[in-house]
Structure 1
Amino acid sequence: MDWSNIQESRRQTLGICSRCCSYETLKKKLPVLGWLPRYTLQWLQVDVIAGLSVGLTVVPQALAYADVAGLPVQYGLYSSFVGCFVYCVLGTSKDVTLGPTAIISLLVSLYTYEDVSLAILLSFLSGCIQLAMGLLNFGFLLDFISYPVIKAFTSAAAVTIAFSQVKNLLGLKDIPREFVLQVYETFRKLPSTRLGDALLGLSCIVILVLLKWMKDTSPRMHRNIPRFYRLCNLIVWFITTARNAVIVIAAGLVAYSFQVLGSQPFILTGKTAEGLPHFQLPPFSETTANETRTFNEMVQKIGPGLFVVPLMGLLESVAIARAFASQNNYRVNTNQELLAIGLTNFLGSFLSSYPITGSFGRTALNSQTGVCTPAGGLITGLVVLLSLGYLTPLFFYIPKAALAAVIICAVAPMFDLRICKTLWNVKRLDLVPFLLTFLVSFWEIQYGILAGILVSIVILCYPVARPQIKVLESESLVLQPTSGLYFPAMEFVRDTVHEKALAVSPQRSVTLDLSQVTMVDYTIVVGLRDLLHEFKSQGLCLTIRGLQPPLLQKLMAADLKAFHHLQGKTEDRLKDEDSTEPLLQGVIGPSK
């Protein structure tokens, strides 16, 4: 037994373990270790205010988004507190808040068919997929989804979500979930509108818009302003910031007053389950009155949602984190964000949560109130837990029209077609994936996203398939590709050479200048070999010059005899490049 080898192996193992368990490595995997030692009392005061502000917003929104997902309202609250605690430990953005959102709730509704068990299982599976992507550092895949596709999807989702709430706003019943049928049936049943719900819902929308306008236009207060005015300003700030909670509470009081008087003109939320959710395994099978569904059958029932929901959850959360990191001058770790949201969905499924992601509206509120660290989420989580523990009986009196008004006002800013003007001025071709995603999403969400991604990839790959080729003419014809050559470009290069040298009379020899090419693949190597043989059969010369050493090594490594003969000719040609003969230039390639 060679003890020296064993000792060396032990030293290497201990070295690896010490590096993996070092404080710096732990700080990367547990970002809380980075800011917690520097935490101050001043940060605590600001984080408490931010956490309370977000908490008063998340409670009414959670109730409303659960309705969008087609689930009992308490499941919105079940989905709202786990992310607050997990993100505090694993998150790399001080601003992001995790919880139910309009877009994810819409997707859950589409893929789980208002089935609670499917929604919870989808959260578990989404968390597993997101955790795997984070552990394997697959965050870079999100970079291939272009911004026009994201904006088109969010705009289409805003229209779909807002219109889905019109039935609750007007008190209509038996409206289908498919968007086109939904629009048709809503207009057809307008005469059946309930006057009480319509008046309450429209009034809530008007008040929410006014409160938002007051918040956006209220002047900043200075220290030398009298205390009374500062107190009034604080009250206005609190009411406008917690406007969703104010509206829901006020509407609930109105509905309760009518209930006491013996009449009820509104459709109410109704009885909800009381107390905190039980910690239990996600439902890996489901037994109903008619059948028992196995795990495989449940997964098949979810279908494409198994990929669309976790992908859109990651995309929405990472996009929000990057946006606010840029705005507030710090950086986020994409793979760490995947771990945070993945673990939230995974653990949340044990507490009856449906899939969640980062919320733009609540993140914006968090940022505006000056939150200093992710610790503000702890206060938000406690507010949600207190609501679940003590306020659920009061949810009975919340009118659905009020929740519909909250949703419509929340998603309205997501609808933004002004980007079309910007795309027209910057790159008109980007309008194609934007419009395709926007329109197809009204048919099927997943097809809209897929169509936009595929078209974006085609646009991205087009310059690879049609590279620019400079045409330099002196005594001989010189063709100079101005970028790397990859297999989609081979036919274009072959056609260009034929057009300029072999399809003319008299036929001409060609010099192919690869001085600006740094990368080729095997298809290009084979194509160049075929061109060499073709020119040789015509009694012409195809000379390749300007080969950089790495590129020349690759051509030689291909073990093609033509290139063995080529090396000497290339060196000879490079000696003659100091010629001062005038050149006529042109460009062959994709039009700009």
Structure 2
Amino acid sequence: MFFPEWLAHYRKDWLRPDVVAGLTVAAVVIPKALAYATIAGLPVQVGLYTAFTPMLVYALLGTSRVLSVSTTTTIAILVATALGDVVSGNATANLATASAALTCLVGLILIVARLLRLGFIANFISEPVLIGFKAGVGIVIVVDQVPKLLGIHFHKGSFFHNLIAIVQEIPHAALATVAVGAVMIGLLVAIEHFAPRAPAPLIAVAAGIGGVSLLGLSSHGVATVGHVPTGLPALALPNFEMMMALWPPALGIALMSFTETIAGGRAFAESGEPMPRPNQELLATGLANLIGAFFGAMAAGGGTTQTAVNRLSGARSQLSGLVTSFAALGTMLLLAPLIGLMPDATLAAVVIVYSVGLIQPAEFLEVLKVRRTEFIWALVALVGVVLVGTLEGIVVAIIVSLVALAHQASNPPVYVLGRKPGTNVFRPQSTEHPEDETFPGMLMLRPEGRIFFANAQRIGEKMWPPIIATKPKVVALDFAGVFDFEFTALKMLTKSEKKLREDEGITVWLVGLNPDVLAMVRRSPLGEALGHDRMCFDMEQAVARYRASTPGGSRHDC
């Protein structure tokens, strides 16, 4: 379990592209990891630790060949919220202890989820809700970083409090800091536009450090990162009392970590490559967080942007992740003093430019174009993050997803069918196909999905209007699209069949039952009432038998 599976199948011709990709990703990941540490309210060196240990552990145990694991903007803002609730003031020791406790908990939760085989939670939050959640996080992060870009200070509070305070403090902005921030944002945007493969964050960081060293920006009031310790991280021991206080937010962070990890791994798996295995991913990310907690790392997960860079740079295997990890180690040992010269405005610019990428209006419009209801769910998730907070926003996102699922399950479609002329194709009647055939005295209905206690009543309500409107002799229920038929629904259908037969003189046929549903019906009173004659193999057979029997009399059986 702890031996890298990919190593047994490694090919020599992958070595060079893996090394090149790993170094390229390091040039992107390391500056961004430093910036994300500041989002979380942690010292910048925590970003280096996160780019080292979790990346190393995942590269050894993960199943995605190109997934790059350190941290993300989403996880960073969640960590910031969680730590802010348990750490008073900005004592570095308290922050380090709390971060270790939180990261340890995230790792333990993911490992327990692996033991329980809960890999299916990768699909727990719907895509529209995730779009809204991430857009909300992007907005919150941008508002959080703007003060650093302007060189202003105020007591932070709710989202709207911070927004109003920024507007009020703009006249007091430090011009030198604003200039640095503007130049950095312009540089990042220009590189992304004109040279998308270049390591834009690294170039921006180098430019910022060069500006402080050569132009003496510090003497003009431009704040810098300050001292960054050189060497390996000190051993960090999680605090049990803090762990007890942090477990609720740790659940949300673990869910988001795994969701982003599996989404990134699946998105960049090429044809012919093995798809990430969710349960193994739970173990890999769980151990990456658990081990990382003891070496100063913050909560970690797969990052989509850095994974895209890894793929575009030619990565062939997890070795590229190992190269990135050791590049972070080299930075810790050799380049830490230079990092201390980096302007805060540079880090803020990096955070803002890449956080804006979380806000994708085109994705909202795509959802709206396809389905208005799910567009509303996306907006609810966005507003939830902005108004009630990021951690609470996860709860909002999950609730919205569950409500969406319940709504879909409780309101399945029921179609009135017609037959395409000259074929055996039966499709829902519509104004687009007025030529579709119907058969006097026969009503063909098709419910779809799982029929169970929560939707059986609703399905019955949808069936009655066409029955009343057409007054058929036979109602043929096409169950080809019904994959499960629950006991409560079966009892309701049994009563309805009896009512239609005895009170209305209408015969019910069941058509296209799958083997499991057919066996269940046959064991029930409904099966006894219908017998063999009123259960047909498919709708074509039902129509043929109905039409054959109609001229000869009143018998309408399969």
Q: Distance in 2 between matches of 1:177 and 1:514?
A: 58
Q: How does 1:465-476 map onto structure 2 within 5 Å?
A: 465-470=411-416, 476=441
Which of 25, 33, 37 aligns to 1:66? It is 37
Deviations 1:482-523 (A, max 9, x none): 43533233213433455455x789x88764535535531111
Q: Counterpart of 2:235 in 1: which secondary structure?
A: coil
Q: Counterpart of 1:578 in 2: which secondary structure?
A: helix
Q: Counterpart of 1:353 in 2: which secondary structure?
A: coil
- Cα deviation for residue 375 of structure 1 reads 0.9
Task: Report the more deviating stretch, 465-474 or 331-340.
Answer: 465-474
Residues 508 and 151 of structure 1, relative CA distance in 2, 3 Å threshold: closer
Q: Distance in 1 between matches of 2:259 and 2:393?
A: 15
2:318 is aligned with 1:374:
yes
Residues 496 and 396 of structure 1, relative CA distance in 2, 3 Å threshold: closer
Residues 536 and 161 of structure 1, relative CA distance in 2, 3 Å threshold: same
Residues 326 and 102 of structure 1, relative CA distance in 2, 3 Å threshold: same
Say what the alpha-carbon RMSD is for the aligned residues: 3.3
Q: Distance in 1 between matches of 2:174 and 2:479?
A: 75
Aligned partner of 1:277 in structure 2 is 233
TM-score under structure 2 length normalisation: 0.82
Which amino acid in 2 is paired with 1:423?
V
Task: Report the more deviating stretch, 385-394 or 82-91.
Answer: 385-394
Residues 475 and 99 of structure 1, relative CA distance in 2, 3 Å threshold: closer
State, as a whole percentage, how many aligned pairs show the same letter. Answer: 25
Aligned partner of 1:265 in structure 2 is 221
Which of 355, 367, 386 aligns to 1:442? It is 386
Q: Counterpart of 2:448 in 1: which secondary structure?
A: coil
Q: Distance in 1 between matches of 2:181 and 2:350?
A: 9
Aligned partner of 1:182 in structure 2 is 162
Task: Report the more deviating stretch, 571-580 or 330-339.
Answer: 571-580
Q: Counterpart of 1:189 in 2: which secondary structure?
A: helix
Q: How does 1:38-437 map onto structure 2 within 5 Å?
A: 38-40=10-12, 42-113=13-84, 115-216=95-196, 241-257=198-214, 263-285=219-241, 295-296=243-244, 298-299=245-246, 303=248, 305-326=249-270, 331-437=275-381
Q: Distance in 2 between matches of 1:576 and 1:146?
A: 40
Q: Counterpart of 1:488 in 2: which secondary structure?
A: coil
- Cα deviation for residue 424 of structure 1 reads 3.5
Aligned partner of 2:461 in structure 1 is 495
Task: Report the more deviating stretch, 424-433 or 305-314.
Answer: 424-433
Aligned partner of 1:570 in structure 2 is 534
TM-score under structure 1 length normalisation: 0.77
Q: Counterpart of 2:65 in 1: which secondary structure?
A: coil
Q: Counterpart of 2:227 in 1: which secondary structure?
A: coil
Q: Counterpart of 2:51 in 1: which secondary structure?
A: coil
Aligned partner of 1:513 in structure 2 is 477
Residues 557 and 386 of structure 1, relative CA distance in 2, 3 Å threshold: same
- Cα deviation for residue 171 of structure 1 reads 0.7
List runs of 5+ in structure 1 lacking aligned partners. 1-25, 217-239, 287-294, 584-592
Which amino acid in 2 is paired with 1:375?
L
Task: Report the more deviating stretch, 474-483 or 353-362.
Answer: 474-483
Residues 148 and 487 of structure 1, relative CA distance in 2, 3 Å threshold: same
Which amino acid in 2 is paired with 1:564?
E
- Cα deviation for residue 38 of structure 1 reads 3.4
Deviations 1:407-447 (A, max 9, x none): 12222333211123323433333312222222222112345
Q: Distance in 2 between matches of 1:518 and 1:101?
A: 40
- Cα deviation for residue 127 of structure 1 reads 1.1
Q: Counterpart of 2:153 in 1: which secondary structure?
A: coil
Q: Distance in 2 between matches of 1:154 and 1:547?
A: 43
Residues 88 and 536 of structure 1, relative CA distance in 2, 3 Å threshold: closer
Q: Is the 8 A contact 1:258 1:264 kept in 2?
A: no
Q: Is the 8 A contact 2:6 2:317 kept in 1?
A: no
- Cα deviation for residue 49 of structure 1 reads 2.1
- Cα deviation for residue 550 of structure 1 reads 4.0
Q: Distance in 1 between matches of 2:218 and 2:154?
A: 26
Aligned partner of 2:426 in structure 1 is none
Q: Distance in 2 between matches of 1:407 and 1:497?
A: 55
Residues 109 and 550 of structure 1, relative CA distance in 2, 3 Å threshold: closer
Residues 469 and 422 of structure 1, relative CA distance in 2, 3 Å threshold: closer
Q: Counterpart of 2:219 in 1: which secondary structure?
A: coil
- Cα deviation for residue 197 of structure 1 reads 1.0
2:469 is aligned with 1:524:
no
Which amino acid in 2 is paired with 1:192?
H
Q: Distance in 1 between matches of 2:44 and 2:279?
A: 32
Aligned partner of 1:289 in structure 2 is none
- Cα deviation for residue 201 of structure 1 reads 1.3
Q: Distance in 2 between matches of 1:185 and 1:276?
A: 39
Q: Is the 8 A contact 1:276 1:389 kept in 2?
A: yes
Q: Is the 8 A contact 1:511 1:543 kept in 2?
A: yes
Q: Distance in 2 between matches of 1:497 and 1:399?
A: 67
Residues 59 and 571 of structure 1, relative CA distance in 2, 3 Å threshold: closer
- Cα deviation for residue 69 of structure 1 reads 0.2
Q: Is the 8 A contact 2:236 2:295 kept in 1?
A: yes
Aligned partner of 1:553 in structure 2 is 519
Which amino acid in 2 is paired with 1:369?
S
Residues 579 and 177 of structure 1, relative CA distance in 2, 3 Å threshold: same
- Cα deviation for residue 372 of structure 1 reads 2.1
Q: Distance in 1 between matches of 2:465 and 2:516?
A: 30
Q: Is the 8 A contact 2:78 2:391 kept in 1?
A: no
Q: Is the 8 A contact 1:48 1:376 kept in 2?
A: yes
Which amino acid in 2 is paired with 1:567?
G
Q: Distance in 2 between matches of 1:201 and 1:406?
A: 9
- Cα deviation for residue 59 of structure 1 reads 2.5
Q: Counterpart of 2:445 in 1: which secondary structure?
A: strand
Deviations 1:204-241 (A, max 9, x none): 1112222333313xxxxxxxxxxxxxxxxxxxxxxx73
